[in-house]
Amino acid sequence: MEAVEPQKYVLLALVAVLLPFCAFIRLLLAKNTSGSAFYAITGISLSFIISIFIFSNTWNEQFIHQQVDWFTIGGTTFRVGILINNLSVLMMVLVTGISLLVHVYSIAYMKKDPLIHRYWGYLGLFCAAMLLLVMADNLLVLYMAWELVGFSSYLLIGFWFTKDAASQAARKAFIMNRIGDIGFLIGLFILYTQFGTLDIQKLFGQDGLVLSATVHSDLWISSINQMPATWLTIAGIAFFMGAVAKSAQFPLHTWLPDAMEGPTSVSSLIHAATMVAAGVFLVARIFPLFNDTVLLVITITGLFTALMAATIALTQNDIKRILAFSTISQLGFMMLAMGIGAVDGGIFHLATHAFFKCLLFLAAGALIHALAHLKEKDDLDFDIQDIRNMGGLRTLMPVTFYTMLVASIALIGLPLTSGYLSKDAILIRAFEWAESKALIFTIVPYTALLVSWLTAFYISRLIFKVFFGKWRLQKGFKNIFTLHDSPAEMKYPMIILAVCCLFPLFSSNPLLFETSWILNGFHGTNSLQRVNAYHTIIPAAVNTISIMVMYICYRWYVKPGYSIANNNLLYRFSENQWYFNCIYDVLVVKPVNTFAKAIFWFERKVVDGLVNLTGRAGLLFSAISAWVDEYIIDAAVNNLALLAKKIGDFTRHFQTGRVQHYLVTMLLFVLTVFVLKYFSQLL
């Protein structure tokens, strides 16, 4: 019995992966939309049920690892299998659960789309890839799943492919992710070269190869190989680069706001709850690899991203963009947690964040959905995602309002919510971490605090602007009062999520994160003991100030009279997203300007953001190489042909048709031989 058990779970897990994939295959071959939702939802619900089953049986149990031979290359056999431990089952449940809700939500949200079967198919692919990602026991498979989620994200962002912005955003997302993937790949090379295997359990397990490798006088020595110690750092950075791109961390974050061009349901599932968290997941999976340098890099990147994205979110007006930056910011938070060694905190926050951020997006989707109806009905032209165009919707769409409010509070981290628990876990750990370090490192926890207050501000701003006050656009809205809450398919997932944002799901004690079962599931450190003052002071301080911030926000946005100047430098700095897109532009444009005339036609191909950096420089290179190809390499060949013709002409030159010329030439040739011989004799 004991032996059979693990196999059963592994097989079930495999089924959980394959079910959405089968749905994908079935829908790829589908000719029309009929019944498409059924396949998709059946697939994901079964997956969810299986996940719950596995979760309930294996949480906090011995990990389960089963493998089969995949292929053999040289002496190395790649084995592929499924690794079920706390991290993967948690992620499984999270992914399938949220997916299921988003699937249900999508029934109504995407109802009228003519290509909806494709949409379901893509979602199926995403779910399968994501599940594979979390369960993979081999870094190569993980990488494959990693790219596949990127690919499905590409498909889903560009789902409305006739929209140029959407297809551009999709491409940008894919290419930026590719940059990270290259890092991931390089990481793989290093690990494979160093350890000869890519098996996660072998590498990162309890007495895995990574831990047993030593760094000794600038050499990183494993049992089979050794290389300079810098490669250890490079490996860490490389893997982290993959995570940076996937989790939209600075400097590869610009794709995420653009990805909002996709359907909102997709944004909520992929770009808020699950896929973007894969970066954090990866860091958690391979955590033993990171040395201090890399951890510091992770910390700083996470912190900076969190701060930067939060400040940007302050001034954005597009409802989805605010949420996107919020996501970036929160992901930065999780990275920060990873960097300071609070893996458990990071994962915990990942889990809680998944619920409330998904909910925020779904609610935003509900708003957009409703406004889109209105727009269509009244035949009006206004930006349905601009929060400046909304207001006072609290009464018209109460369910949306309340669910979103719950999610926002969770995001801010007020007590009784899940966010309170996870955010505190990270903050407190950050303070503890800084304590053991030099003074300069105290910047880290304090900045984190600042970020959480900024979070409180921007999300309050969102809520107040959308739901409070009055409807801002007056003219032509005859039917404004026909606005109502979404249909049931959308409403109930939101309500369920709202419930999940509250504390009971995660902890028995609403105020003490230490009691959270998720944290305890990850080999809790002694920091879970309330050993010092931080555990008390910080939650109190955070919440007090957060509430103050919310009040200020309320005064500014709801009560008339207080208004902030929206044209000062800081405001614009924030509104323009720290000018990152521009910086990426300018960094390239200036050097390129000198060549502008020569390559201007390539401008049409230029992509923005960081892609500009590589893209424009790349295009410049490509222009140069094309030029080299045409005028140097090819010309050299053609000139050779010309040379041949010239030699031919030279020989023809003698062929004048006069026999006496021939004779003279012939004799001159002969004489040359004589003369040469003669002189060589003389010398």
**Angle between helices 580-593 and 610-627 in degrees, nearest 10:** 20
DSSP string, 476-490: T-TTGGG--PPPHHH
CB 350, min distance to another protein, A = 24
If the CB atoms of residues 166 and 347 are measured against another protein, the closer one turns out to be 166
If the CB atoms of residues 140 and 450 are measured against another protein, the closer one turns out to be 140
If the CB atoms of residues 551 and 662 are measured against another protein, the closer one turns out to be 662
CB 174, min distance to another protein, A = 6
Exposure string for 610-641, b = 16+ CB within 10 A, e = fewer:
bbbbbbbebbbeeeeeeeeeeeeeeeeeeeee
CB 9, min distance to another protein, A = 23
- Write the Ramachandran bin of 150: left for phi over 0, alpha for psi from -120 to 50, otherwise beta: alpha
Nearest CA among 384, 379, 455, 387 for reference residue 417 = 455
CB 621, min distance to another protein, A = 5
Nearest CA among 178, 344, 180, 355 for reference residue 272 = 355
> ω into residue 251 within 30 of 0, thus cis?
yes
Strand partners, 66: 82
If the CB atoms of residues 4 and 641 are measured against another protein, the closer one turns out to be 641
CB 61, min distance to another protein, A = 30
CB 251, min distance to another protein, A = 15
Q: Which two tokens stand for residue 459?
A: 């999300």
If the CB atoms of residues 163 and 375 are measured against another protein, the closer one turns out to be 163
CB 647, min distance to another protein, A = 4
Q: Which two tokens stand for residue 575?
A: 């509104």
**CB 489 within 8 Å of CB 104:** yes
If the CB atoms of residues 79 and 349 are measured against another protein, the closer one turns out to be 79
If the CB atoms of residues 526 and 660 are measured against another protein, the closer one turns out to be 660
If the CB atoms of residues 6 and 124 are measured against another protein, the closer one turns out to be 124
CB 298, min distance to another protein, A = 21
Q: Which residue has the tokens 């190395």?
A: 76
Q: Which residues, at least 6 apart from 64, have a Cβ–Cβ distance to it below 8 Å?
A: 6, 9, 10, 58, 82, 83, 84, 85
Q: Which residues, at least 6 apart from 456, have a Cβ–Cβ distance to it below 8 Å?
A: 412, 413, 545, 546, 547, 549, 550, 553
Residue 333 has, within 13 A of its CA and on its CB side, a CA count of 35
Strands (E), 290-421: none
CB 102, min distance to another protein, A = 24
CB 675, min distance to another protein, A = 7
Q: For the chain, state the CA radius of gyration.
A: 31
If the CB atoms of residues 515 and 622 are measured against another protein, the closer one turns out to be 622
